[in-house]
Amino acid sequence: MLIVVTAFKLVAEIALLSLCGQWLLGFLTGARRNGNPFYAFLQLLGHPWVRAARWLSPKIVLDRHLPLVAFFLMLLIWTAASMAKIGICLQTGVNLCK
């Protein structure tokens, strides 16, 4: 069970970092971000989570706000996985969780 929780936490961390990096790079480069290959890579990593946010959110949410919705969704998943991992580690013993 610890492996499953750790895998969910890792996927959420990758998604959070890609969405955060995409925002930061887009902020720094401005309109030239579409020609940036690293921005395209981060967009590729974050796209499934933005699609999931579109599926979960109501249609009133604008498309430009979907990355923020995806970020908070991944933050919620990361928090739940972290709490589950802490609970499992306290039950089994902290030395076995390393």
Residue 98 has pLDDT above 80, yes or no: no
Query: Residue 19 belongs to what domain range?
Result: 2-97
- The two tokens of residue 21 are 């990096």
Instruction: Please give the share of the chain, as a percent, with pLDDT higher than 90.
Output: 78
pTM above 0.75, yes or no: yes
Alpha carbons 2 and 43: distance in angstroms, whole number: 30
User: For the segment 24-64, what is each residue's pLDDT rounded down to a tens digit?
Assistant: 998 998 888 888 899 999 999 999 999 999 999 999 989 88
The total number of structural domains that make up the chain: 1
Looking at residue 10, its pLDDT comes to: 96
Residue 60: what pLDDT?
93
* For helices 66-92 and 2-29, angle between their N-to-C axes, nearest 10 degrees: 150
- Angstrom distances, CA of residue 54 to CA of 50, 62, 76: 6, 9, 16
